Each structure stands twice: as C-alpha cells, then as structure tokens.
Amino acid sequence: MKALREQLEGHPGLIRIAPFILFLCLTYGQLLPGELTPFWVYLFKTLVGTFLVWLTWPLVRELRWRIGWEGVVGGLVVSGLWVGLEGRYPVFQDSGTEWNPFLALGDEAALAWVFIGVRILGSTLLVPMLEEVFYRSFLYRWIAQPDFECVSLGAFQWKPFLVASAVFGLAHREWLAGVLTGAVLQWLVLRRKGLGDALTAHAVANLLLGIWVVWRGHWFFWS
C-alpha cells in the first residue's frame, strides 16, 4: 500500500476524482436484476469506498473533520431543506426502484436492519468524504483554475460557486434541495478555509435524513 500511495502522490486530481467516480459507477450496479441486488451492491460499494478513502486519506491533506457549531447548524439547515421542500417542486424521475429492505425481505427484519444500518453509516461517514473532496476540494477549485492546488479553499469566485453547486444539485433526484445544499456546504468551506465543517454538516444532514426516511417511511429519498 505504501508503494501505491507513493505512485498516487504525484496525481492530486486523480486521488480526488477516482474514488468518487468509482463509487458513483458502483451505484448503477443497484439497477441489476435481483430483488436484493440494491442492498448487497450498496454494502459492497460502501466497503470499496471505505478502502479508497483509507488509501487516499494521507494524500488529501484537507480531508480532516472539524466538529463545530457551524457545521452542526449547517447540517440542520440542509436536512430541513430536503424535508421542507419535498413535494413543492418537480423532481427528476428516479430509477423506479424503492430502496426499502423491509419491502424486499418481508419477515427477515434482522437482515433488513443490517442493510439500513449500512446505508445510514455509509451516507453519514463515507459519502461526505467522497463528495466533499470531489465537489468542494477538486471541482470548485478546478473550475476556478485548472491548476487547482494553487487555489485556496477559502477563495471565493462566483463562477465556480454557482457551477459546482449546480452540478452537485443536478446529481440528485431532489435537484433544488441539492443545489441549495451545495451552496451551503461550499459557503462553509469558504468561510472556514477547509473541508472540516462541511464534512460535519454533510454528515449531520445525511444522518438526520436517514432517520427521517426510516421513521416516516419516506424511502423515495433513498431511491
């Protein structure tokens, strides 16, 4: 692993792009035939994503969590946006497959809870790291300047702010909530000149949304 990390060290763009793209590609595996395929694929891609983050963690210096009140408040705001805006605007059509392990497993509730636990842990701890590194560390700065490492994480520019937020939002079914979320998370990065508070906000929002999904049965958020 040390030799692999040494090879990757000279490719700052690759180590910020590849883990996210691979994780995203594995997501499409959830569309393969099989009633339980979406759940096993999510488990698999969570393990793969965890390995990739572990591999690249020492090379991405800005990938460090910061637990502060701004991040927590940001997470509350973001989760409120997703829940509060639901049903108030047209969303993108999803795959048509509802990510509901109780529906697929019936009486096998224990395994269903395992899949739900993996989903909540993955979206709370892993997804924020993959997405914040790609969107806020790489994409925002690359739009500002192709030699992105020369751009400070605290450097505000309108074009990358709007484009990166839009790209982040359009990658989600709930595109409007996604765009606004991208703006909130980018603002935290700019304000704190680092990813720490944005990671916390992203994690808090995904955790609360996961609890909401299970509590209210709004599985469409996980479609």
Could you tell me the residue ranges of all domains in the chain?
A: 64-222
Structure confidence by residue, pLDDT tens digits, 101-113? 998 887 678 999 9
Confidence at 223, pLDDT banded by 50, 70, 90: confident
Instruction: Phi first, then psi: give them for residue 64, nearest 5 degrees.
Output: -135, 130
What is the percent of the chain where pLDDT is above 70?
97
To the nearest whole number, what is the mean pLDDT of the chain? 93
